[in-house]
Amino acid sequence: MKEIPLLYREKKECCGCTACYAICPKNAIKMVEDEEGFEYPKIDENNCIRCYKCLKVCPFKQLNI
C-alpha cells in the first residue's frame, strides 16, 4: 500500500485553501480548526485511496514537485 499523502509538514506549508478537501473523491479529508481558529486538512487513513489528487491540486506542492 502506498503512503498516505503528506499535505504539509508545518502549518506554513498550508494556507487552508480547501482545494485538497474539495477534490478528494472519497471525502477522506476533513478541515479541522486549530486552537487559533484556522482550518487545516486532516486525512482519514481508512477512506484514503492514495490517488494523490489532493497533492496535485495543492498550490503549495506545485512549488516543490
Q: What residues line the site for ligand SF4 (CB under 6 A)?
A: 5, 7-8, 14-20, 24, 26, 28-29, 41, 43, 48-54, 57-60
CB of 35 to ligand SF4, least distance (A): 17
- Please tell me the distance from the alpha carbon of residue 23 to that of residue 14, in angstroms, as a whole number: 16
CB of 37 to ligand SF4, least distance (A): 15
Question: Is residue 28 classed exposed, middle or buried when 0-12, 13-18 and 19+ CB atoms within 10 A define those classes?
Answer: buried
Nearer to ligand SF4, 34 or 49 (CB): 49
**Residues 18 and 31: beta-carbon distance below 8 Å:** yes
